[in-house]
Structure 1
């Protein structure tokens, strides 16, 4: 596979502002069409790229012959879209969270296994350039042994009303925001999460949803590393995207929303890399480029669908912890059939 054609499912913020512009920059990638619930929204998103607008995914798959479906729609669309792609023998990319529940994620993975296709998990955090530089610093031993990792992901309000409906979104700030924080912590802890203690409540958006708008998670990894996740829809008037790595000989701070996103204090001194454009700084261009390369070469991906399931297993434990008031173990066992 050399040229790759992509059918994008979704015409909202992330499709318009991140995935479509990133795909348009990748050599040898053609945007075959955009599928949305209304023809007007599909046309508005597809127009700048000369792509066709659709409201029916099956018809779009039959007509366009697209190689891969990029699902950038609300979570209630993820399972049916990935299963449709699998029925047509097409690969799929799915934005976070992979699904609304572990059961849905397992059904998606089963469909992909049966079809012999691939499912990529579009979590941009591990592709952020500043994190790659931080990983180089950590791997070089500049901050000693990592023993604690921390992430803060906060916004003032979700960008669409469907987030407030747990039936569509799968939950609140934990499944929407903490998946980013968990991905960061796992990237630097270097081991699976074994247990979670979480506390959460609804403070700012109580009149609009029963889902939590604020959550704090404490993770314990199999190698003893501690993780902290602070995630919210309640950061009124502001945004937050900060990551920290604590080692026995130093510390790394990544502030991804400000002019100097990475600060390192350790054996190598202080470093301040230059700011990067949004598509690059947030990792979306690198992530989608990586997926396309994997499709072309058949190489393993750094973010398969099973990675998204692993994140949901941590989310599941966190939600159980909020309900029980106790630390809960992560149920990471993969159903019969194994990982694709």
Structure 2
């Protein structure tokens, strides 16, 4: 590691999310992306070129493996953006180099979810803490400007006068992922509940927690009632479409992953009051594109936000022949008609804010508030939701989830099976 006033960041994983972080880095000061590695060199080289074209890193080194990247003297911290099924082995490789003394790092930031099970998430946290690294959980929605601004105002103007909020609603919906491994339950760790409810649960907890307070301390879980289903992609027609689009996908007529999930999490807050997070997620929403919506309700106030309620829109008539793309909004489902424009998705969705915050914390030698411990808490909540859905009843705390793996992840779940 080279000391200095700028943070050198190595990116591990060069897929879709890597490009989002590269674009987000245009709003980050005092840090550069200096190195990239990925499971395929071609994707790593493509991300390195994008980084340099965006001006968020110069002379970006493409490494063939993780060990070489973390030993790079220009790398002070790493961002782990690899698929869920690689999470443990990637963190093992990083921390092995650090604990052996072959590499010197300040910190590590890990994308959601922290693991496919509680056991995996605990192992990741234990490895990082054992290596003595600062750590951040890359939960972008907590850094979305529309959420952080509303959160601060509601607590200052509403909660201070009328009392703490009691209900948070969060939903994330789109038409489905763009990579095979997301659709395979064993690789993903489940379906949409694991993939996207991790966002909604943490956003809900954040909204219910006072600014500056630790979410895990302020909110004590009491119970969860959840349900999951395969509404669209388990149907014969759409299972066949998946098979055509992603040749290595599992047979969704036999072993689907859930494309819809709903959960109600009950907590006691720091005042001893009952509060609720309602979370809904789906891969079966067909609309303009990715829809993120949030609500917070309190005794004399409320807030709401939706990413598809944008300031700008465009209209393209039926006479225009349009090629497919996602230039207006992520997970775009049409190229004609009245379309919302998300002017800066990396900023709006919170990627810029989280990268900026973790960079500042690592440079200051300060442990980020949104830590991997938060990531573990989220996985515990998600696994309890899976258990509730499988049992068809409310799960209450304390609950032992150390050996639990969702039936979806084991290929043993099919709501159409008679």
Alignment TM class, shorter chain as reference: 0.7 to 0.9
CA displacement at 1:183 relative to structure 2: 0.8
Task: Please give the residue correspondences for 1:144-223 in structure 2 after superposition, counting only pairs within 5 Å.
Answer: 144-145=162-163, 146-190=165-209, 191-206=219-234, 207=239, 208=252, 210-223=256-269
User: What is the match of residue 91 of structure 2?
Assistant: 82
Q: CA deviation at 1:142?
A: 3.0
- In structure 2, distance between residues paired with 1:93 and 1:330: 29
RMSD: 2.2
What is residue 271 of structure 1 aligned with on the other side? none
Spell out, residue by residue over 1:170-227, the C-alpha distance to the aligned partner (whole angstroms, 9 max, x if none): 1111111111110111012232332110001112122335211101101101131122
* TM superposition shift of 1:320: 0.3
The alpha carbon displacement at 1:46 in A equals: 0.9
Looking at structure 1, the residues matched to 7 and 301 of structure 2 have their Cα atoms a distance apart, in angstroms, of 44
1:33 touches 1:64 (CA, 8 Å); kept in 2? no
Instruction: Say which of 8, 12, 15 aligns to 1:12.
Output: 15
1:149 Cα deviation (Å)? 1.1
Please say if 1:27 is aligned against 2:43: no
Counterpart Cα distance in 1 of 2:401 and 2:385: 18
Structure 2 distance, partners of 1:280, 1:15, is 15
User: Structure 1 residues 113, 151: closer, same or farther in 2, change over 3 A?
Assistant: same
Q: Which residue of 2 aligns with 1:268?
A: none
Question: Does structure 1 conserve the Cα–Cα contact (< 8 Å) formed by 2:24 and 2:347?
Answer: no
Please report the TM-score for the alignment, with normalisation by the length of structure 1: 0.88
3-state DSSP of counterpart to 1:241: strand
- How far residue 64 of structure 1 moved from its aligned partner, in angstroms, is 5.0
**Cα distance in 2 between the residues matched to 1:331 and 1:175:** 21
Gaps of 5+ in 2: 53-58, 99-104, 210-218, 240-251, 313-341, 403-418
Residue 367 of structure 2 is aligned with which of 279, 300, 316?
300
Q: How does 1:1-340 map to 2 (within 5 A)?
A: 2-16=5-19, 18-48=20-50, 49=52, 50-63=59-72, 65-89=74-98, 90=105, 91-142=107-158, 144-145=162-163, 146-190=165-209, 191-206=219-234, 207=239, 208=252, 210-223=256-269, 224-237=274-287, 238-259=289-310, 277-330=344-397
Alpha-carbon separation, structure 2, partners of 1:281 and 1:87: 36
Shift in alpha-carbon separation, 1:55–1:330, aligned structure 2, 3 A: farther
Q: Deviations over 1:149-172 (max 9, x none)?
A: 111110111121110112211111
How many residue pairs were aligned?
321
Secondary structure (helix, strand or coil) at the match of 1:140 reads helix
